Amino acid sequence: MKCNLKGRFWIKTDGTDVKAALQESLRQELNGDVDLLDGKLQDIRREYEARISSCETISEDNNISREDLVIAFVALIATLEEDIEFLDDGLQKRAVWESFHSKFHSPCTPVETLKSLAWGIVEFQTLLEQASFFTEQIITFIADLNLSRSQAPRASNWSLWLKQSPGYLQFLQNLFQKKQICATHILVFMVADKQRICKAYAIPTQYVPYKEIRDQEVRDLTKKIKIETTKAHLKVVGVYYFLT
């Protein structure tokens, strides 16, 4: 491009499908999510890391006071109540059942697709039961702490929480896999010399993992590239869209 500063350039987009990947590896590295560069994915990941950190603080702080333990448990209940609302909405309002039944009655639906949809329903139901269970347990912990002020601050409740915290961490991991969206496609943005004088092929400049993407979202992403291209004194004459 430096060799053809007066040239005219096209911005091209091409979508390709990819296999669903693990969103969190054994090394706790997060990847494989939809990221439309709007900051929503980063917000979810920050929330996830904060909740993991909060749980680990309760479990690892041997000197935590009774008052701080109650405050921490109350905060856990508040987030669990939001989780229950989210899971109930996912199971009912987001038409998980309707999606399954519509595919079930279609003769062209592959068996693997039906299995995946059915498993998704089971996952939502299981997570909803787990969220309710942890909420009830923590409410009991708080009640016991308030009634037994004369005892050690964390004599029984803290030890019980230590036994349940690994299950709670696993619950959080599975929950946020539902809040996050696993990418099934990659949208690649490329810049190409219109006359192809210097490069006979388009040069990739950016890629975006996505599952479903609207035309307006593609235009917004393309707009950012146009701005950067203009800053580099390259004249953009059009945009090609190739979406799968």
* Domain parsing of the chain, residue ranges: 2-18+184-242, 40-179
For tokens 């749980």, what's the residue? Answer: 55
Other Cβ atoms less than 10 A from the Cβ of 154: the count is: 22
What strand order describes the sheet that includes 185-193? 203-210, 185-193, 8-17, 235-242
pLDDT at res. 78 = 95
DSSP, collapsed to helix, strand or coil, labels residue 96 as helix
pLDDT at res. 170 = 92
Tokens of 123: 């996952």
Give the integer Cα–Cα distance in Å for 101 and 139. Answer: 37
pLDDT at res. 98 = 58
pLDDT at res. 86 = 92
pLDDT < 70 stretches in the chain: 1-7, 21-22, 62, 93-105, 109, 113-114, 148-158, 194-200, 238, 240-244
Task: Answer for the pair 4, 232: CB distance below 8 angstroms, yes or no.
Answer: no
Give the integer Cα–Cα distance in Å for 33 and 29. Answer: 12
Give the integer Cα–Cα distance in Å for 93 and 80. Answer: 19
pLDDT at res. 223 = 85
Q: Is 183 exposed, middle or buried (0-12, 13-18, 19+ CB in 10 A)?
A: buried
DSSP 183-235: --EEEEEEEEETT-SS-SSPEEEEEEEESS--HHHHHHHHHHHHHHHHHTT-E
Residues 6+ apart with CB under 8 A from 128: 84, 87, 88, 91
Separation in Å, CA 242 to CA 13, 125, 174, 187, 214: 6, 38, 34, 9, 13
